[in-house]
Amino acid sequence: MPLDTLDRVRGGLYGVAYGDAMGMPGELWAQAHIRRHFGWIDAFLPGPDGHFIVDGFVAGQTTDDTQQSVVLATELIEGDGVVDPARFGRRLVEWADRIGASEGNFLGPNSARALQLIRDGAPLEESGARGDTNGSSMRIVPVGLAVPSDDLDRLITTVVESCRPTHFTDVGIAGACLIAGAASAAVDATEFEAVIEPALRAAELGRKHGNETLRGSVRRRAELAIELVREGEDDHTVLEALYEVNGAGVETLESVPTALALAVAANGDPVRCARLAANLGGDTDTIGAMSTGICGAFTGFAAFPADEIAQLDAVNDLGLLDLAAGLHRLRQRTATA
């Protein structure tokens, strides 16, 4: 059957929000802590009382992962497919100031530092110089949805420009390229295995850009994480292996390879993927946003339960359908150019 590209773009964007909201309650909790407190997360839940980030969040509420993805999607659409890094940086600051994101622990450490530097008038060469955590990767799915999988040069260029304000390092760009490459390939794939190699190739090319760090290879860590998944006997052993061996922290080198591996473990099923991410431990909301965004781009919007989508829409005023339509127009125009 022919692919419904618009449905897949919608699925990718909603996948980010779905995985983010499912992973929100256990954000930055240890795997064992999640087991003790929740048992097994299989539905949207409110932020736990006393949680140092999401105390007071309601069930189905998204975090900065989805909100920054919306900012980037808006930048892409209004920029006619081009990310202007200076303008994008200003958009991120405006978003953060509007919702008070820079207060408390809502932002990751590199994003918080970079946005403050932008407020202070620092050049992009300074604001993004040290970003090696997953802030650029967590918001990058819209680039993969907007750029066809056969236009790798455009994909890499767009990712690089989106990383300049906050995460302009080789590892930050490599991680973002892996997620964008996977999302782009997922929109066009007929089997999920076809997503893996384009994602790995994009990560390897992305590593050639940005400031050099002492971090290892995102591609090789992703290959290790996928091997761990394929050796796992069941969901619990898979999650334990990923958490213990590859890691699930905010570092790009942990969270990004683990996100791709979870998508592989779920074989592209976004609902299963979101639940795996939520129960993983570590940076559950971000890993959920990245992995479920990839899966949603593979299966499409129709794969999500209607009642949970209605809950997402009711809790979060994000305008995802309109954004998906705009990203789809960009993808279709580029594909026929």
- Structural domains of the chain ordered from first start: 5-336 (1.10.4080.10)
Q: Per the confidence metrics, is the pTM higher than 0.95?
A: yes
Kindly tell me the sign of the dihedral angle through the C-alpha atoms of 6, 58, 72, 168.
negative
The answer to whether 172 and 256 have CB atoms below 8 angstroms apart is: no
Task: Give the pLDDT confidence score for residue 107 in this predicted structure.
Answer: 83
Which residues of the chain have a pLDDT value below 50?
Answer: 1
Helix (H, G, I), strand (E, B), or coil: what is residue 101? coil
Task: Give the pLDDT confidence score for residue 1 in this predicted structure.
Answer: 39
Find, among 258, 252, 220, 273, the residue nearest to 139 by Cα.
252
Task: Give the pLDDT confidence score for residue 106 in this predicted structure.
Answer: 79
Task: Give the pLDDT confidence score for residue 256 in this predicted structure.
Answer: 98
Task: Give the pLDDT confidence score for residue 331 in this predicted structure.
Answer: 97
Task: Give the pLDDT confidence score for residue 336 in this predicted structure.
Answer: 60
